[in-house]
Structure 1
Amino acid sequence: MQLKDKVAFITGSASGIGKEIAIVYAKAGAKIVIADLNKAAAEATAAEIAATGAQAIGVGVDVTDEDQVNAGVEQAVKAFGGIDILVSNAGIQIVHPVDEFSFADWKKMLAIHLDGAFLTTKACLKHMYAQGRGGSVIYMGSVHSKEASVLKAPYVTAKHGLIGLCKTVAKEGAKYGVRANVICPGFVRTPLVEKQIPEQAKTLGITEEQVVKNVMLKETVDGEFTTTDDVAQVALMFAGFPTNALTGQSLVVSHGWFMQ
């Protein structure tokens, strides 16, 4: 099994992409920590995974709160003996034009996406370095780590920022065998994306169908949404890669929207 006995701490994983990654990791033999703002949902998802025979726990964590992040990581270490994989996945979306974006919402977006990534990385690296068995840090970026869209200034800014954090962690972690990489999905039809469709339709003055066809999927090669499994399979590759040959990289998973 590719991740046998590896301990994976996955934020924002009670649902959506994070949950799919947790399920795929569990099937690959990992011990799973479902870290989510909604503790009850985290525990429910962990129970669902445990029912398949895997080992999993749920912890309540606000990734913008350093004390909660540290406590959640320590709870994971106490339960499973260490941390081998961090998937920094927690995120939200708020859409407005720049001239209408409140400073409070701007700060909220950056806090969850960037501060959360920094705090969880810092807490997990301490254990990865001390364990002496390497590790993998995986950030959930976006095509918006490479490209911009209207109405999403803080999201685009934060997702670009994750690439810089990743590259630094890759360089600092190399001597400890710790790799860092970014997954950059296109639009995945999760609740976060579903919420955007009517919001963008209203703001842009078009139908929801036009948002999907002419905004979200316009630049794909096949008019298809990226799936949670598409993303989870890339997360599995990054987590299980055995050397520093694959580190400091960002991989776009988007049905051809933005090609490198």
Structure 2
Amino acid sequence: MDHMFMRDKVAVVTGSGRGIGEAIARRLAEFGAKVVITDINMETAQRVVDDIIAQGGQAKCVLFNVADFDHIKEKVEEIKGLFGRIDVWVNNAGITGSTPIEEISLESWDKMMNIDLKAMFFCTQAVFAIMKEQNYGKLVHMSSLAALRGGRSSDASYAAAKAGILNLSKCFALHGAAYNITSNAVCPGNILTPMGKTLSWSQKNPKTYIPLGRYGTAEDIANAVLFYASDLSSYVTGDAMNINGGLYM
């Protein structure tokens, strides 16, 4: 198969100015996709774009706050206008937390749900309409190992939001199937990113509790997203891939 098997596909990755989102955008561009970097930090987003272009890829960036619910539809239309279509949408933008269960406030709960779950739904809803018109689309959503077994080092609101993503992914899979739209989720385990380093597990020795003996990298997640974002996964929908070095066993 041609190495550039994402050629002519337009891929949007939210929160892709750094961390896992950046790795996803770089991997998709490496395989030929035209990539749209969206972030709330345009400085880091532009840096990623410049790097991708310097390596012969195609990329543009746009300022996008996924929790600005009054403007999501307009923003998604603006993003579509950059390359004329949206073939792949990766819901990566999100926050984490480690507040003890007895101390989670109404304010922090709502913030978590707004950014990690509500934004995922309404961004995907807006993109879904575009993909229906195209009769083609690949939706990929970032969930978490915490969605499957409860939050160990992350808090209960995060675990609940990420569990909601798994269910909403199936909803979009069900409703998108007739329009050649697939919807799948990725559940990272302990991935050593700037966000991961803020959590207590990052201080442990992975050899003591992860079967593969190491923490995951952003590139490990990007490889899973590449599969779901490409036509390699054309008969896969409503699925979730667990990327955790065997920690879920």
Same fold flag (TM > 0.5): yes
Alignment gaps of 5+ in structure 1: 201-207
Residue from 98, 103, 107 that aligns with 1:95: 98
SS of the residue 2:99 aligns to: coil
Cα distance in structure 2, aligned partners of 1:152 and 1:218: 23
- Residues 54/101 of structure 1: CA separation in 2 closer, same or farther (3 Å cut): same
Residue of structure 2 equivalent to 1:232: 222
Cα distance in structure 2, aligned partners of 1:157 and 1:6: 33
The answer to whether residue 245 in structure 2 is matched with residue 258 in structure 1 is no
Matches within 5 A, 1:180-191: 180-191=183-194
Cα distance in structure 2, aligned partners of 1:92 and 1:243: 28
Residue of structure 2 equivalent to 1:223: 213
Residue from 120, 127, 133 that aligns with 1:117: 120
> When the two structures are superposed, what TM-score results if normalisation uses the length of structure 1?
0.89
Q: Contact between 2:40 and 2:65, CA under 8 Å: does it hold in 1?
A: yes
- C-alpha deviations, 1:172-219, integer Å up to 9, x for none? 00000000000011111111111223xx7xxxxxxx74xx23xx7754
> When the two structures are superposed, what TM-score results if normalisation uses the length of structure 2?
0.93
SS of the residue 1:146 aligns to: helix
What value does the CA root-mean-square deviation take over the aligned residues?
A: 1.7
Cα distance in structure 2, aligned partners of 1:191 and 1:242: 30
Alignment gaps of 5+ in structure 2: none
Cα distance in structure 2, aligned partners of 1:96 and 1:9: 31
Residue of structure 1 equivalent to 2:177: 174
Cα distance in structure 2, aligned partners of 1:64 and 1:119: 9
Output the amino acid matched with 1:144: A
CA deviation after TM superposition for structure 1 residue 95, in Å: 1.1
Cα distance in structure 1, aligned partners of 2:63 and 2:182: 26
Matches within 5 A, 1:146-161: 146-150=148-152, 152-161=155-164
Output the amino acid matched with 1:8: A
Q: Contact between 2:140 and 2:225, CA under 8 Å: does it hold in 1?
A: yes
Residue from 218, 230, 241 that aligns with 2:231: 241
Matches within 5 A, 1:25-36: 25-36=28-39
Out of 217-226 and 81-90, give the one that drifted further: 217-226
- C-alpha deviations, 1:63-104, integer Å up to 9, x for none? 111244333322221110110001000111121111111111
Output the amino acid matched with 2:44: A
Cα distance in structure 1, aligned partners of 2:101 and 2:240: 26
Output the amino acid matched with 1:148: G
Residue of structure 2 equivalent to 1:9: 12
Q: Contact between 1:10 and 1:34, CA under 8 Å: does it hold in 2?
A: yes
Give the fraction of aligned pairs with identical amino acids, expressed as a percent. 35
Cα distance in structure 1, aligned partners of 2:68 and 2:29: 27
Cα distance in structure 2, aligned partners of 1:16 and 1:170: 27
